[in-house]
Every structure is written in C-alpha cells, then in structure tokens.
Amino acid sequence: MSSDVTQTPSQSPTFSKVGKATLNVAARIGGLFAAVVVVAIVFVVINPNFANLNLAVSVLRAMSSVAIMAIGLTLVIVVGEIDLSFGAMYGLAANTLAVMWVVHGVPVYFAIPLTLVIAALVGAFNGSLVTRWKIPSFIVTLGSYNLLYGLSLWVSNSGTFNPNYPPSGEDLPQGQLDFFIGLTQSFGKYQLSAEVFWMLGIAVVVGFLLHRSLFGFRLMAIGGNPEAARLARMPVRRYKITAFILCSILAAMAGILDFSFIQTSQPDIGLSQTFPVFAAVIIGGASLSGGKGTIIGTLGGALLLAELQIGLALLSPGPHVQQIFLGAVTIIAVGLDLFLTNLRKSRA
C-alpha cells in the first residue's frame, strides 16, 4: 500500500540488536538515577554538611526494607495484579518470629524458616483467591491486609518484644542472639548494615528471575496480555500464584531483617510501609496495568524516596513537609513519565 513497506529486513544493512523499546527503558532508568543525583546536589547546596558518607550509608539502610518489599511487589504488578497486604505480612512475620522465638523459645534457626513458610502460605492464599475464585486482587489483599494485621495483634497479644529482654526473664541463648543480630550487623568505618547486602543480593536474584529467566519472560507476557497468554496455554494461574508467594516471602524477609536491626517488634509495624513501597515501584516505572517493570527501576525509586525522606527529615520543621513532598514526587514522577512518553510517540 505505501512505499516504505517494500523494503525487506534481510536487505536492511543494520540489523542491530538494540531496539527502541530497550532504549526507552534505559533512558527512563537513566533519568531516574539522574534525578537521584540532582536531588542529592540540591540538598548539598542547601546544606553543605549533607555531603558526607555517613548520611549516604543511612540512606542505603533506610531504603533496604522498602526496596526488598518493592522488589516483591514489582513481580505482582508486572503480572497485572496488585498486593496491598505486604505491609501487614511484614508485621506478621516480625511478630510471629518474636512470639515463637522470644516468647516460646523455639530456636531461631527453626523459627525463621517457619515464618517464611507462613508467608508462602499467605501468598498462596492471596494468589488462589485471585486466580481460582476470580476475586479482584485489590479486594483479596485489602482483606488479607486486615486479616494479617488482626493475626499480628492476636499472636503478639498486642505486646512488643525485644530478644534482649524476653518476657520469661531467662536470657535467650547467646549463639542464637548473635546469629539473629548478625543478620543486619553493621560494619566498616561507616557502619554499613548487612541489610544493604541482603537488598542487593535479593535484587540480583529476583532481577535474574524477572529479566533473564523463562519465568520472568512469561510473567511479562501474562501481565501484558493475560487473555493471549491463556489462549497460548501458558500456566497463567500458577505464575500469578507464584508472584503472590514471592511477594509475601520478600515482605516477610524485610520484616525479619528490620526486626533484627531494630530489635523490637510491635504489632502495627509495617502498616505504614504500604505507601512508600508502592511509590517506589511506580516511580521505578512499573505500570499498574501490568507487563512493565524492572528491578533496577524499583531500586532507583526506593533510593529516590529514601533520599528525599532523610534529607527532608533533617531539613524540615516538621513531618508534614516530608509527607507532602513524597506524595507530590510520586504524582510528578508518573506524570512526567507519561508526558515524555507521549512526546516520544508524537515525534516518532
């Protein structure tokens, strides 16, 4: 019909491996990390004392648990579903572990795997209700958010626990205590917490899973077009359930690690994490309609948020500034992304 379709690819001289889609993703992530740098420069200009490595290390620490949860959430968002329950799972994990270990003296080496198994069951519960009973994931996980928080209140009897001061009055075995606190040991001149390495390790493993494995490939396909995936006989249900399970397990890991770092469990911890984790995933470029999202982007989103949070906390006269900024940044980031995408499309 038109003249430009007559050219065949076999004759085209440059059959480059990199296409526009890849470049767009790269540009987006580049932009995100550029924003991280720009924000850092702005803070340093405002207050030159901010230019120190201790602060950078605490930003990394602060982003860790948010990032671990956000990595899990990215999987669920990529497959086109939503999980609101991870914050409550984070809290339930810390509280279950505290009750099993600190109160009942179950050795921590058993209590941690058991907690992760519970998390997997929670994920399977969410995923099964979504795929088998076709209840929208928003509703299912809104329900399980409350359910899990209720369980946290119940098992902990609304109490707080610290492994250094068990309620029985009898000290926990020193070896177990050392192991548990060692999970997030800070070391080096700048007191870098091991939690940062947990985050990086998880990012590498899940990054491989999402971007380099058949599992991730199909996850993207299912999120991009669930109906096509069903017609092509992909295991849509199994993959969705797996995404929910991984999201729950990662939330539980974040809960356990933060418990190890803070060394206090409270029944309502984690609930306030829902917003920053979602914001990190969305700023990272994942699309709520599914099929889009990267682990590196999510990390960038978590980093930008942690940076703003700590910088503003040090600068601002009150917590309201932080809160207002975080909300604005999320909307601006997504708005800017849509604007630039449309700009690129209209030029193409």
* Minimum CB–partner distance for residue 205 and other proteins (Å): 12
Piece of the chain touching other proteins by CB under 8 A; list 18-26, 249-257, 267-275, 296-304: 18-26
| Residue 216 near other proteins by CB under 8 A | yes
| Residue 231 near other proteins by CB under 8 A | yes
Choose which of 58, 176, 225, 263 interacts with other proteins (CB under 8 A): 225
Q: Which of residues 30-49 bind other proteins (CB under 8 A)?
A: none
* 3 state DSSP class of 135: coil
Q: Which of residues 279-318 bind other proteins (CB under 8 A)?
A: 287, 291-292
* Minimum CB–partner distance for residue 206 and other proteins (Å): 14
Q: Which two tokens stand for residue 260?
A: 């190890």
Measured from the CB atom, the residue of 18 and 317 that comes closer to other proteins is: 18
Choose which of 19, 48, 169, 188 interacts with other proteins (CB under 8 A): 19
Q: Which of residues 94-113 bind other proteins (CB under 8 A)?
A: none
Taking a C-beta distance cutoff of 8 angstroms, is the pair 38, 329 a contact? no
Measured from the CB atom, the residue of 42 and 232 that comes closer to other proteins is: 232
Piece of the chain touching other proteins by CB under 8 A; list 192-200, 226-234, 265-273, 316-324: 226-234
Taking a C-beta distance cutoff of 8 angstroms, is the pair 243, 76 a contact? yes
Per-residue interface string for the shown chain with other proteins, residues 238-277, x marking contact by CB under 8 A: ----------------------------------------
| Residue 134 near other proteins by CB under 8 A | no
* Minimum CB–partner distance for residue 212 and other proteins (Å): 5
Q: In this structure, how many other beta carbons lie within 10 angstroms of the beta carbon of residue 344? A: 13
Largest separation between any pair of C-alpha atoms in the chain: 84
Q: Which of 154, 155, 171 is nearest to 163 (CA)?
A: 171
Q: In this structure, how many other beta carbons lie within 10 angstroms of the beta carbon of residue 239? A: 21
Q: Which two tokens stand for residue 164?
A: 């250094």
Q: In this structure, how many other beta carbons lie within 10 angstroms of the beta carbon of residue 94? A: 29
Phi-psi region of 80 (alpha: psi -120 to 50; beta: other; left: phi over 0): left
Choose which of 104, 132, 212, 238 interacts with other proteins (CB under 8 A): 212
Measured from the CB atom, the residue of 291 and 300 that comes closer to other proteins is: 291
Taking a C-beta distance cutoff of 8 angstroms, is the pair 239, 127 a contact? no
Q: Which residues of 148-176 are buried (b: 16+ CB within 10 A; e: fewer)?
A: bbebbbebbeeeebebeebeeeeebeeeb
* Minimum CB–partner distance for residue 342 and other proteins (Å): 14
Following CA atoms 218, 219, 225, 229 in sequence, which dihedral angle do they give, to the nearest 10 degrees? 40
Start-to-end CA distance of the chain, whole Å, equals 20
Choose which of 77, 118, 220, 299 interacts with other proteins (CB under 8 A): 220
Choose which of 42, 51, 53, 228 interacts with other proteins (CB under 8 A): 228
Residues that bind other proteins (CB under 8 A): 1-2, 4-5, 7-10, 12, 14-22, 208, 212-217, 220-221, 223-225, 227-228, 231-234, 287, 291-292, 348
